[in-house]
Amino acid sequence: MQVRVLTEKDRKLWNDFVSSRDGSQILQSYEWGEFKSKCGWGHFILVVEDGSGIKAGISILTRKLPVINKSLFYSPRGPVGALSDAKLFNMLIDGLCVEAALKGAIALKVDPEIEDNNANAVALLNDRGFTRKKKQVQPRTTYLIDLTKDLASLLMSFEEKTRYNIRLSEKKGVMVKEDSTIEGIDVFYKMYQETSKRDTFLIHPRSYYMKLKETLVDRGMANVFIAEYQGKPVASLFAFRFGARIWYMYGASINEYRNVMPNHALHWHLIKWAKEKGYKVYDLWGIPSAPSEKHPLYGVYRFKKGFNGALKSWIGVYDLPFDRMTYMLFDKGVGLYQDIRSLLTKGKISDSLSE
């Protein structure tokens, strides 16, 4: 077996490997790294392979750190295929240590899609020197809806209130359409701005979603859906798709007409659409790991819970320092910056991904 860095010509090879694994994580796709490269990150993919193909791999985003001329490695939902085999895992990490030396990386941050009761995977991480972090990057807990069920069974599996709201949206005449054009993304973004002000969270600039269009939408890996009431856009969502899975990534709605349940109409439409396309899992993407009525995402949790998907909790973020002293200083500094930013923008120190 050998370790090597992939090139652009290996795009399909890598995507076929990732999409064939459980989870088929779009954040490990070649295109996600390409997209983030347009947003100021570096990107490379390291694999362990033999004559029969890729056995394990990891897509790495790299970020230059100001002043100190160092960088940080981050692998969203990686590595892939490594945490069930100690030999593969250690070969991959050995290769990353070489890349870290070449690129001046102070640490590697990972948050693999590994269930939190997987003691063997956690042991591999611990034995290699990784430490678990409380601060999450991607949501650690989610609901997965099984799209292999027939529609009638799916609908009946939802909580009674969710079924009622879906039927109410139909009765009120809420219509849903797919519109992944620039115009559709603009409709979504206008509503997203309104949503962020209402719920006090930060969003990316419009250019971010235009880059998503260029990199994912135009390759058939993402779509925008818009719910209309009496001909007026009232809610929208951005969905990603890759392998056998579809993800609910960004949702938006206006302050008016929430009583006609456009968000329920959107998700039910997307479920039917995804089933027609042959997807097997709908990932609702993020809920609090320890929901309470005081949590800023409690309303999101209640909404998603109504679809009665399988509750999944992943092991969360683990860091591997390459330069321990610099990493410790950087880690404390980032935490302080995030707390100050939250205080200035929300008037409080809070974290929607907090445990």
CA distance 104 to 327: 12
Strand partners, 132: 318
CA distance 75 to 93: 12
CA distance 33 to 39: 10
pTM attached to this predicted model? 0.93
| E strand spans, the chain | 2-5, 42-50, 53-65, 70-75, 105-110, 131-132, 141-146, 175-178, 222-229, 232-242, 245-253, 281-283, 310-313, 318-321
Q: Which CATH architecture has domain 141-312?
A: 3-Layer(aba) Sandwich (3.40)
What fold does the segment set 2-138+315-346 form as a domain? Aminopeptidase (3.40.630)
Q: Which residues in the chain are classed under CATH 3.40.630.30?
A: 2-138+315-346, 141-312
CA distance 279 to 274: 5
80-124 confidence digits (pLDDT tens): 999 999 999 999 999 999 999 999 999 999 999 999 999 999 999
DSSP, collapsed to helix, strand or coil, labels residue 11 as helix
Q: What is the dihedral of CA 27, 30, 31, 36, to 10 degrees?
A: 70
Q: At what angle do helices 160-171 and 262-277 cross, to 10 degrees?
A: 100
Q: Is the pLDDT of residue 36 over 90?
A: yes
202-259 confidence digits (pLDDT tens): 899 999 999 999 999 999 999 999 999 999 999 999 999 999 999 999 999 999 999 9
